[in-house]
Chains A and B, each alone.
Chain A
Amino acid sequence: MRKHLKPRTFKKLKGKVDLSSNTAGIKSPNPFWLASAPPANSGEQVMRAFDHGWGGAVWKTLGEDPAVVNVTSRYGAIDIGGMKMAGFNNVELITDRPLDVNLKEIAEVKKKYPKHAVIVSLMVPCERKNWHDIVKKAEDTGCDGLELNFGCPHGMSERGMGAAVGQVPEYIQKVVEYVKEVAKTPVLTKLTPNIADVRFPARAAMAGKTDGVSLINTINSVMGIDLDTLKPKFAIGGKGAHGGYCGPAVKPIALNMVSQIANDPETKNLPISGIGGVSDWRDATEFLLLGSSSVQVCTAVMHYGFRIVEDMISGLENWMREHEFETLDDFIGKSAGDIVEWKHLNLHHKTVAKIDSSTCIECDLCFIACNDTAHQCIVRPSDYGKTGKGWKIPTVIEEDCVGCNLCSLVCPVEECITMEDVETGHAPLTWEQYTAAGMTGYKEVYKRFHD
C-alpha cells in the first residue's frame, strides 16, 4: 500500500505589488477610473464603484443650470458574432441633474472616500467668466482634479461646446488658459478623436498649460438602419442622430492616439489618462504600456456592472508579479517608443508562417485566405492530387511567404500557426536609409513573383 504523500512543495506568490497611480498629480489607489459617463452619474453609484475597487471616477459632466434635457432612447450597439456590444454608441448629453445636487454629492463622496480620485468633468460656454465660475464651484467640493470635456460629439457640439471646442486647437488653448487662471487642482483636457491629427489639440492644450490630457472621447457614428422599418437603429420618434461610438471596437484607434501623444516631442511628457474600449486588465495594461498613467472605463461597466474591476485588479497584479514590476512607474510608457513611423521599420526583417500540422484541425481558412487574398504561398497535398489522410493539411512555402500574418490571424487554433523570425544575414535597412542611399542596398527577403 502506498503510504506516504510524496512531498510536493509550492512556491510563494511573489510579494504584493503596488497599483497606486498618479496622473498629473491626481492620486488614486489603482489606475482604474470610471469615465465621465452614466456609471458616474450620481454619488450613490460612484461610492458603490469605489466599494467594488475602482480607484477613481470622473463625474458625469457638469454644465450650467438649467440642466440639459435628454431624449429617451439613447444607446445603440453592434454585436459581432457571439459578442454583444462589441461597439456601443449614445446620444446622451451631459448630466441632466441640477448643478447644486451634483456638487453636494461630489463633496459627500470626497469626504467619505478621501483616498480615491474624484475628478469633476466640466462643460460650459467658451467665456472666461463661465469657466471661472464653474471651476470655483467644482473645486469647492474638495475634488482631486478637473476634466475639461472638449470631446462630446453630439448635441453639446451643436451648442458650441464639447467637440466643437475640441476640434479647434485655438479654442482649446484659450479655454484651458481660462481654467488655469483659477484652478488649484490638476486639469485634464479631454480630447476628441473626431479630428485629423490628435497631436494638434494635444499641443494646444499643452500650450494652455493643461496638467494632462485624457483620450479618446467617442467617435461620430451611426449604428445602422433597421431593415424592417427602414428607420435608424434606435430612433427617437422615427429619427436618429449621430452619436458617440465607443466600446471594445474602438481600442486600437485610442491606442494609436495615445501613442502619438506619448511620442510627440512636444507632448511626450504630458500625463495621459487613457480611454477607449478598455474591457479587461489586458486592455488597461496596453494603455499603460503606451504611456497612460490611468485608464477610464465605461462601456464594459455598462455591460457587466462595477464588479469587473475585481478581475482588472487581479489580472494586473498577477501580470506585474510575473514580470517583476513593483509599481506602475516600472512599466508605464515602456512600449511607446516602439511605435515608430513607417520609414523607421527594418526592410530586411523577415518573418514567415509556420503551421503545426499536429494541432491543425484542417479548416483550411489559412489556405483560402492566403490564396484568394494575400500572397499565394500556402499549399496542401490535395493541390498536388493527393488523397487520403492529411490531404487538407496546409504547408507554407517559406521562400514565397511575405510574413503578412493573415494565416495566423484567421487560424482558430491557438499557436497552431506561428510567425517565426528568419535570419536573413542582411544588416537592418530602413526606408529612410534606403532612400538616403539613392534607392540602393535593398536585398530581397521574399520572392516577388507577381511582378
Chain B
Amino acid sequence: MSLQACFSRTPFMSDKNNKTIDDFPLLKEMTPPMRREEARVEADRCLNCYDSPCTIACPTHINIPKFIKQIGSKDNLGSAITIFDANAMGHSCARVCPVEALCEGSCVYLGWHEKPIEIGRLQRFATDALMEKGIQPFEAGEPNGKTVGIVGGGPAGLSAAAYLRRLGFAVTVFEKKPMPGGLNTYGMAEYKMDQRVALDEVALVLDLGVDIRYETVLGDDLKFEDLEKKFDAIFLGVGLGATAPLAIPGEGLKGVYEALHFIEYIKNHEFDAIPAGETTVCIGAGNTAIDVVTQAKRIGTPKVVMSYRRGRADMSAYDYEYELAAGDEITFEWQTMPIAILGDDKVTGIRLQRTELKDGKVLPIEGSEFEIPCDRIVKAIGQTKQVDLLSKTAGITLDKKGRIVVDATTLQTSNPMVFAGGDAVNGGAEIVNAAAHGKRAALGIFNTLFPGNPPGPEHSDWIQTIEGVRTVRPPNHHHAKTLETANV
C-alpha cells in the first residue's frame, strides 16, 4: 500500500478513545525482517573482505563478514554471538543505526555502483533469531571483588554493564526513568524500532545479573559522594539534558512540547494524550526533528511543518532521513526562525521570520514575518549539556562545549575513579557510539582497578573489537624492503 493510500484510508480522525498502536499502521516497524532465502542470497553476496571497510566503519567494530558468513552457513546462533560480543546493543543497532553513513555506506559494492550488502537487516536476522530462541550466550565472570556504579541506564550505561558483568564486577545501575534503555526505549522513532525490541535487549543485559534501580536521579535521590564511597568505580552515562529553550514569547503555552517528550508519548503508546490535531510545527532540522515530523504525520496530523533557520544543504539530518520526511509530505520552511508563539493559554499559531545567510551568519530579513496557524509546536533544536550536574555535583572537568573530558583509551575522567561515555562525552551521537563507549570504559575500568593483570583469554574476542584490529595478523615479509622496492 502506498503511503498516501495509508493516510487516506486510516481512520485517523475518529473520535475513538484508547487508541492503540494498531490504529496507527504507519507507526509500526517500517523495514521488514528478512526471510530466510533473502538472508541466504544476501549473505552469499557478501565478498567476505579482509580488514573489511564495514567493520572499520562500525564504531563497535563488529566482525561483519564473519557474522554474515555465519548466517550463510546457517549458524544463526554463532552469528548473533559475533554481533552481541562486539556490541551489547546490537539488536537495536540493527534497526536504528544510520547504516547508510556507517557500515553499508562503506561497502565495496558501492565502488561498482552496486547495492551494498544489507548489513543492518542481516544483523537483525541474526539477533531476532537469538531473541526468539531466548538464549543468553554470555555468562557473568567469576566475581572479582570490585563494584561499579553506573549512572544512566541508556545504551552507554547498559553496554558498560554487560561487559563489566562478564569481567566479574558487581554492577548497580541507577536510572531516572521508570523503564530502562534510555533513548533506545524512549527516543527512537517507533516506526524504526518498537519499544519492545529495546526492552528485550535490555533484558538480555540485565539477565547477566545487573542490579538496576529505577526512578533514581543523580543529584536528587542519589548523592555523588555516596556513590564514591560505595563503589570502586563509577561510570557516567547520563546523556544530555533538557531541550534548549527557544527564548521567545509564548514558550510556556499549552501545546508546546520538547521533542523528546512528544516522542515519548508515542513510544509509550499514550496516543490519547497527543491527539493528531490540525497542524504541528517543528522547530529544528536534525535527526530528532525528522523523528518528530514523521511521527506527527503518522499519528494523523494533516499538516506538519518543519522550520529551520538555514537551508536544506545545512540541515544536520542524514540525507535518507530528509528523504523519509519528504516522503511523508512534510512542509519545509527553510530559512525561517521563530519569533513568537501565539495564543492565550493554548497555542494557536507561530510567527516566523525569514532569514538570509551573510558570511555564514544567519540574519533575519526585516519585514518578512509571517504566521502559521497551528495547534502544536515541537522544539527540536538540540539538547543542553548537563553542565551543572556534572561539574558541580560530580566535580569533573568539562570542555568548553560542556562535554565530559575523558582519556581516549580508557574513558577515565578527571576523577580517576569516574569513567564516562555516550552523549555526555561526545555531545550527542548514535546508539552505536554509546555502545562502543560502554565497552571501552568496561575495559578501562578493569585495567585501572587491576593494573598489569589483563582479562583472561575468554575476553580476547570482544577486547579486540574495541580498537577493531585483529590480534592475529598476516606478517609483512617484505619488512626488509623499503616502500619503494616493495612497490607500495
**Cβ of B388 under 8 Å from chain A:** no
Across-interface contacts of B37 in A (CB, < 8 A): 412-414
Mark interface residues in A52-70 (1 if CB within 8 Å of B CB, else 0). Answer: 1000000000000000000
> Which of A5, A282, A415 is within 8 Å of B180, CB to CB?
A5
- The stretch from A114-122, A133-141, A171-179, A306-314 touching chain B is A306-314
Question: Measured between C-beta atoms, what is the minimum distance from A228 to chain B in Å?
Answer: 23
**Cβ of A304 under 8 Å from chain B:** yes
Across-interface contacts of B472 in A (CB, < 8 A): 48, 51-52, 306
Across-interface contacts of B66 in A (CB, < 8 A): 307, 310-311
Q: Do A10 and B180 touch across chains, with their CB atoms under 8 A apart?
A: no
Question: Measured between C-beta atoms, what is the minimum distance from A222 to chain B in Å?
Answer: 28
Q: Do A44 and B475 touch across chains, with their CB atoms under 8 A apart?
A: yes
Across-interface contacts of A280 in B (CB, < 8 A): 69, 72-73
Q: Do B135 and A5 touch across chains, with their CB atoms under 8 A apart?
A: no
**Cβ of B48 under 8 Å from chain A:** yes
Question: Measured between C-beta atoms, what is the minimum distance from A215 to chain B in Å?
Answer: 23
Q: Do A315 and B44 touch across chains, with their CB atoms under 8 A apart?
A: no
Q: Do A314 and B270 touch across chains, with their CB atoms under 8 A apart?
A: no
Across-interface contacts of B199 in A (CB, < 8 A): 5-6, 8
Across-interface contacts of A8 in B (CB, < 8 A): 134, 199-200, 203
Across-interface contacts of A282 in B (CB, < 8 A): 73-74
Across-interface contacts of B45 in A (CB, < 8 A): 82
Contact A315 B70, CB 8 Å, known A1-B270, A48-B472: yes
Question: Measured between C-beta atoms, what is the minimum distance from B46 to chain A in Å?
Answer: 11
Residue of A nearest to B77 (CB): A318
Across-interface contacts of A305 in B (CB, < 8 A): 50, 474
A310 to B82, CA, bound (A): 10
Question: Measured between C-beta atoms, what is the minimum distance from B374 to chain A in Å?
Answer: 26
A10 to B131, CA, bound (A): 9
A319 to B76, CA, bound (A): 10
Contact A11 B178, CB 8 Å, known A414-B37, A414-B40: no
Across-interface contacts of A412 in B (CB, < 8 A): 37
> Which of A3, A5, A51 is within 8 Å of B202, CB to CB?
A5
**Cβ of B467 under 8 Å from chain A:** no
**Cβ of B449 under 8 Å from chain A:** no
Question: Measured between C-beta atoms, what is the minimum distance from A407 to chain B in Å?
Answer: 16
Mark interface residues in A315-331 (1 if CB within 8 Å of B CB, else 0). Answer: 10111000000000000
Question: Measured between C-beta atoms, what is the minimum distance from A100 to chain B in Å?
Answer: 20
Mark interface residues in B54-78 (1 if CB within 8 Å of A CB, else 0). Answer: 0000000000001001101111011
Q: Do A314 and B75 touch across chains, with their CB atoms under 8 A apart?
A: yes
> Which of A10, A12, A51, A318 is within 8 Å of B78, CB to CB?
A318
Q: Do B73 and A315 touch across chains, with their CB atoms under 8 A apart?
A: yes
Across-interface contacts of B133 in A (CB, < 8 A): 11
> Which of B74, B178, B180 is within 8 Å of A1, CB to CB?
B178
Mark interface residues in B230-254 (1 if CB within 8 Å of A CB, else 0). Answer: 0000000000000000000000000
Across-interface contacts of A83 in B (CB, < 8 A): 44
Question: Measured between C-beta atoms, what is the minimum distance from B180 to chain A in Å?
Answer: 6
A113 to B90, CA, bound (A): 36
Task: Give the interface centre of A7, A306, A307, A308 by most chain B CB atoms within 10 Å.
Answer: A307
**Cβ of B315 under 8 Å from chain A:** no
**Cβ of B393 under 8 Å from chain A:** no
> Which of B40, B44, B75, B134 is within 8 Å of A318, CB to CB?
B75
Mark interface residues in B68-108 (1 if CB within 8 Å of A CB, else 0). Answer: 01101111011001100000000000000000000000000
Q: Do A314 and B81 touch across chains, with their CB atoms under 8 A apart?
A: yes
**Cβ of A230 under 8 Å from chain B:** no
**Cβ of A450 under 8 Å from chain B:** no
Q: Do A311 and B73 touch across chains, with their CB atoms under 8 A apart?
A: yes
CB contacts under 8 Å to B, within A294-312, are 304-308, 310-311
A26 to B66, CA, bound (A): 30
Q: Do B268 and A2 touch across chains, with their CB atoms under 8 A apart?
A: yes
**Cβ of A4 under 8 Å from chain B:** yes
CB contacts under 8 Å to A, within B188-213, are 195, 199-200, 202-204, 206-207
Question: Measured between C-beta atoms, what is the minimum distance from A296 to chain B in Å?
Answer: 18
Across-interface contacts of B73 in A (CB, < 8 A): 280-282, 311, 315
Q: Do A82 and B69 touch across chains, with their CB atoms under 8 A apart?
A: no
Across-interface contacts of A10 in B (CB, < 8 A): 134-136, 203-204, 207
Contact A3 B178, CB 8 Å, known A282-B73, A414-B40: yes
**Cβ of A13 under 8 Å from chain B:** yes
**Cβ of A9 under 8 Å from chain B:** yes
A13 to B77, CA, bound (A): 10
Q: Do A11 and B134 touch across chains, with their CB atoms under 8 A apart?
A: yes
A304 to B52, CA, bound (A): 12
A315 to B66, CA, bound (A): 11
A163 to B324, CA, bound (A): 64
Across-interface contacts of A5 in B (CB, < 8 A): 179-180, 199, 202-203, 206
**Cβ of B11 under 8 Å from chain A:** no
Question: Measured between C-beta atoms, what is the minimum distance from B470 to chain A in Å?
Answer: 8
Question: Measured between C-beta atoms, what is the minimum distance from B351 to chain A in Å?
Answer: 34
Q: Do A11 and B135 touch across chains, with their CB atoms under 8 A apart?
A: yes
A364 to B359, CA, bound (A): 64
Residue of B nearest to A6 (CB): B199
Across-interface contacts of A414 in B (CB, < 8 A): 35-37, 40
Q: Do B75 and A281 touch across chains, with their CB atoms under 8 A apart?
A: yes
**Cβ of B137 under 8 Å from chain A:** yes
**Cβ of B139 under 8 Å from chain A:** yes
Q: Do A315 and B40 touch across chains, with their CB atoms under 8 A apart?
A: no
A11 to B82, CA, bound (A): 18
Question: Measured between C-beta atoms, what is the minimum distance from B129 to chain A in Å?
Answer: 12
Mark interface residues in A223-243 (1 if CB within 8 Å of B CB, else 0). Answer: 000000000000000000000
Across-interface contacts of B137 in A (CB, < 8 A): 13
Task: Give the interface centre of B35, B74, B78, B137 by most chain A CB atoms within 10 Å.
Answer: B78
Contact A11 B78, CB 8 Å, known A5-B199, A311-B70, A414-B36: no
Listed by A's residue number, 25 A-B pairs whose Cβ atoms lie within 8 Å are A2-B195, A3-B179, A4-B179, A5-B179, A5-B199, A5-B203, A8-B134, A10-B134, A10-B135, A10-B136, A10-B203, A10-B204, A11-B135, A11-B136, A12-B139, A13-B135, A48-B474, A280-B72, A280-B73, A282-B74, A311-B70, A314-B75, A315-B73, A318-B75, A415-B36
Given contacts A12-B135, A83-B44, A314-B78, 5 further A-B contacts (CB under 8 A): A2-B268, A5-B180, A11-B134, A282-B74, A319-B75
| 7 closest cross-chain pairs (CB), A and B | A10-B136, A314-B78, A315-B75, A8-B203, A280-B73, A51-B472, A3-B178
Residues of A whose CB lies within 8 Å of any CB of B are 1-13, 44, 48, 51-52, 82-83, 280-282, 304-308, 310-311, 314-315, 317-319, 412-415
